[in-house]
Amino acid sequence: MAERIQKLLAAAGIASRREAERLIEAGRVSVNGNVISLGDKAELSDTVRVDGKVIRLERRPATKHRVLAYHKPEGEVCTRSDPDGRPTIFDRLPRLRSGRWITVGRLDINTSGLILLTTDGELANRLMHPSHELEREYAVRVLGPVDEAMLRQLRQGVELEDGPAHFNSIRDAGGQGANHWYHVTLNEGRNREVRRLWESQGVRVSRLSRVRYGPIALRRGLKSGEWDELTRADIELLRHSVGLTPLEQLARDEKPARRKAGKPHKKPVRARQSVYKKRK
């Protein structure tokens, strides 16, 4: 069945529907070699390209709003396959009958902690988009002397090679000797940003773990390499944090219109029976 192309691109995790519409209006999307216009449709068998790159189209699974909280260990990469044969986070995830897991941001191979994965392309794109400024929290073990002047500078901001950066907050988390733990927060997800901020002050990060992404925190007791499936309430928290429609309202909006009144039922209307069953 043909579907609007912006819907297919959102399902594939390429962009939100609105962003996909802008790509189409800019002439950056083609179907079977032809640049398309807003409102055009495509089927899964069609060849869809964005900026010349072929996009793998997949129909959304029935449970299209699933979200996992995965505790990534050090040594795993966030790509689906690795040319060097290193383990990836996808090796441990539950298999899907249709659709795919989309990572919400990444962690480098030497960083552990929370990674969110979802089957909802629009949610993934909203969570990663800089305009929503979702706060990330990291536990950092720092090797080297740290004083108040350094912490003040990191809060105020320093100039990195890709622009200014700073921590929203820095909290002392204890530790002995030269190895000391801190919890830091920031609103961006630039490559190795936490490490580079500390290194700009002449100290080295010896351990780094993400413990929170937006309103979702890494569950205490969730072992490295394991995952939790988020509850509906947690998913609603995520959707609210990026301005998406609540799931209940979304379900109502997606329901097909009722049959218009006029023609009588073919079968006689029977006396109404109770549909409530006792829970086992």
The CATH architecture annotation of domain 67-130+219-241 reads 2-Layer Sandwich (3.30)
What residues does CATH 3.30.2350.10 cover in the chain? 67-130+219-241, 135-213
Per-residue pLDDT tens over the stretch 103-115: 998 999 999 999 9
Per-residue pLDDT tens over the stretch 16-74: 677 888 899 999 999 999 999 998 999 888 999 999 988 877 654 445 789 999 999 99
Rounded mean pLDDT, 89-96: 89
* Full-model pTM: 0.70
> Contacts from 74-81 at CB under 8 Å and sequence distance 24+?
74/109, 74/110, 74/111, 74/112, 75/109, 76/109, 77/109, 78/103, 78/106, 78/107, 78/115
CATH 3.10.290.10 fits 3-55, yes or no: yes
pLDDT above 70 coverage of the chain, percent: 85
Look up residue 279 and give its two tokens.
Answer: 């829970």
Do the beta carbons of residue 44 and residue 80 sit within 8 Å?
Answer: no
Of the candidates 108, 120, 147, 228, the residue annotated as catalytic is 108
Give the integer Cα–Cα distance in Å for 147 and 187.
Answer: 24
Q: 172 an active-site residue?
A: no
**Residue 261: pLDDT above 70?**
no
Q: Is the model more confident about 23 or about 190?
A: 23
Give the integer Cα–Cα distance in Å for 196 and 256.
Answer: 52
**Highest mean pLDDT, choosing among 61-65, 130-134, 138-142, 190-194:** 138-142
Q: Class for domain 135-213, per CATH?
A: alpha beta
Distance of CA 44 to the CA centre of its chain: 24
What residues does CATH 3.10.290.10 cover in the chain? 3-55
pLDDT band at 255 (very low <50, low <70, confident <90, very high): low
Question: In whole numbers, what is the pLDDT of the chain averaged over residues?
Answer: 84
